[in-house]
Structure 1
């Protein structure tokens, strides 16, 4: 889980923001596209730019329909609400965003139990799914949904292999469960694996993609599935807050991202590898080799808490995030250059030396 830095007045401005790819700023060209967007009332299907985005994403993901939502968390919650009934059980990894980072929304809103499965790098296999299946008796909670996360955030941005995704989806479907993919950084997985997006999502009844992370848009995610599912999801969207009205300005940013910001994710991955290589040379730091754009590191010699290292870095203008005990994360994105990475390595090296 994310942990805030201790409050401290008088800190300088952030020069290098590695906290999250959600901190990206829309580029000048993206802002121009937003200003030029055609808009209408999304509630009544009259916003042509939102419609274009949803149609494009449904086709790209191989689904019948899609709905534009403000955030990925809202996509997850609406998916669970639509797939399940109160008292049901959802299978997911024990470190999944659904479990750790959505405020207990699945239990508070859907009234479901999340059964956390174990496995390395935020992944589990078909055998783990089989072992988790309960008998269909009146004593057991009905298991109705299996969810995976691509890429796996807390596990270090690891990429599920396509064969593994297919295997767990087939096992879940064989047991009568629906399947859902939290695709917050799905395109990072696509670029890193060199496998088309359709291969990643073909076994999943529903999937969503976040545009506010590596794709650099200021707002928005798209949830896709069957036409019937999206119709039901719209009712939950209405219940949870309604339409976004003239949302075409935001949808235009997402369309721009699809055209310009997918292939360049490889640059973020290269910068993450560069950062990890630099930090691995710092005495007292252990670094998890990144699979995509997330670099996790920890202090191994106990010289001071990881919070102290993050605070020292923040005083030098570098912002990283803290995830759990003695673990920090640096996230590369489109606002970070190779020079920024080298500067970050220098700052953290000096911070580790400080008395």
Structure 2
């Protein structure tokens, strides 16, 4: 049986060693490692809501929370990553690229988080953090509202891709009017490289008849199986708009018809039983990416004879040792992971073997 705390401590030690080797050579990597260490120390699990633009991601998040918190609109809107975590009271803080921060009201979010209020991120916002007293968030889950990809605003797509290495799991939204477009499953491939678990949601089912919803579900499942190699796939049909309305009016019968309760039940089941293992596995993968990048850089230096060979060889030996330790920890995690998770990790394992034998 996996000893969560012991495995977590070993992974933290490995990341600290990798950080020492990175030293001042890779400032961006050091910042990324610090982020990973903070996540592990706080057991913070990043669950990102992702998809093409105008799939209803912000409305979906509001429905999950049961209240209109993040801005929504009929045009591509979200332009900044918004982090939603547990807090004893509603609080919104804007963090800027220069290191400063500002507390704002929910009504002011539009001025900083949207393309309408902050075009091209002219206000230099790094991220927005919302604290909210939700029992779901209290379980150590951080919900991430990401800008939609594929819109005319290239900046929004770049912001989402930059965040992908930080996520642990994802909720991927399709819509009934466009179940799976070409660029959609291309983006999904990139999401799958980082998320150890992906939940699929077909949104806006209130726009179609029941037969059309079933046809869209079958079509989306067929495309995902064919293009991405999934053997079995579960797609949850949901109307986020109706679910939010039902939660705001306490209409339980209407809420039941939206499909959201079934999805939240499965999500809660995952969070309760597998969140800890998924976090460790996700961060093991992240640590291996750091090592791969560092090893590549060091080998380049060796080729250019910029550093004494003995020092470079020592660093490579340390990286190989840490890589082996992380691989062993990953095996421990996999022993208690279910078959679906193993399938999701198959591609990573193949890439890892290529690197190990290089």
Scaled by the length of structure 2, what TM-score is found?
Answer: 0.27
Higher-helix-fraction structure: 2
Which of structures 1 and 2 has the larger relative contact order (alpha carbons within 8 angstroms, sep 6+)?
Answer: 1
